[in-house]
Structure 1
């Protein structure tokens, strides 16, 4: 059972007698569509997970759940939209570490507080970051790659300044004493991949999700993964931790969140649904295909909030160490 008093900072007033619930005149949800906001464009990881989850949520709630894309500013626009939405149980967010953690770590100001402006209900899945090179690259191992970066420029692309791949690359360069590991930021993963395949850059750090097929068909080679254990789809690829870099173990999580002060009965019901949804065999199969996997058991409520807090502290320190900031 989740602790009602501590569930994500729900206020005492909300716990006692939520006015919103009274206005609805009974059980929730009863009035119209529930929105599931994806703060990135269609086709990306957040949108994909949101659209996988929506039908199961609809069935569980007995109400239509629609995915609404509100992209822009690296996910900040859609996240801020949910932060300022009514806490009535009809607007939820597929929250993402790239915004809640990495934007917080690298942007001096945000229009929302990543903890206090949300009711964080639970973690859904995690996607590992991977270091990729072309199949014809001379780098067969991480060791060869880092040895080269100690004597000459070796470029790695990322989805942008301040992104998780950027910070992971900066940490790898520092811990491996490879000063010539040079970051090349792009406006998203797609243009970075285009330049990698065109030999404009030597490598790329990116979530595995959108690269599974190219790894399977042999177009790309993976030199390391950022999860604590090896990935089922890449059992022969060692983790960064196995190769001497235990700090490079951060996957990018996706979660389910709502505006702050969500009434406790709604928050408890939605949190309780998360393990049930993640246990759905059809959903699990799709997660495995994407190599975007849930924890077992998934962190819920205060545990999830604790993870977000810890990661903000950790990655803010990394951003400060390497002077990574987005104005």
Structure 2
């Protein structure tokens, strides 16, 4: 969600190394009753009533499935006052009026954890308030094409996953989460961020725009410890976030874990190879910069492709415009 202020003209977009063909998602049968679930250990749910909306959620500690004794549908419409449990860890996770907290420290009374600088920056009320009120718009100076064009580009990459469940990771104030929800493209849209204040902004915008809440869920979670059952998610989108993650490799590995075979990961970030003469200097300064700011610097498309391959994602392709890059990769089938 960070950015660079680079004054560059917005050139026409061109594709690089487009993946041939589109991945085929496996056929799925979804239960029509309100007592069905998918769990990693069936022995744990002998007497539990579980909503079908719980099928994706997992304990961030042990990754066993979470369930609700009340059988309530887990969506933004019923998040307030909800509680879900892990039978393995005996931990209860609670929802407030806006989001469900599925962080490792969620529900702790005394313990608090300070995250890297970039993460803490976006937890502040001021930055959360300003994000859609000027902050994100400045990304055009770094080659970002504008929200409408960026959303269309993402939808083109994500088209094979239509009708499934999508996570908008590091969603910020929910700029793209709300667009996905309004598009009707997915059966469930999960807006996920670590920042409580960003999620509250998302909730407020959702109310202002009268977006239906039945197929939308707001979750607070750590990008490196995603609270979802392995192989349960059809698509993950991460807009202008990859460079802000404390460990991109840990985050992309988690995304790969939760994606179904054939699932698609789409992300946007910055690549600084536009100024080729500066790349050698940036290579030297990169590590001190990362340590000081907690922001990551990417110097080539090859770095991002290598990152995806290392985490089990294939079919890498990207679109460039100056420093801006949108990447797409697919979970192996």
Higher helix share: 1
Q: Highest relative contact order (Cα 8 Å, sep 6+), 1 or 2? A: 1
- With the length of structure 2 as denominator, give the TM-score of the two structures: 0.29
Larger Cα-atom Rg: 1
Normalising to structure 1: TM-score of the pair?
A: 0.29
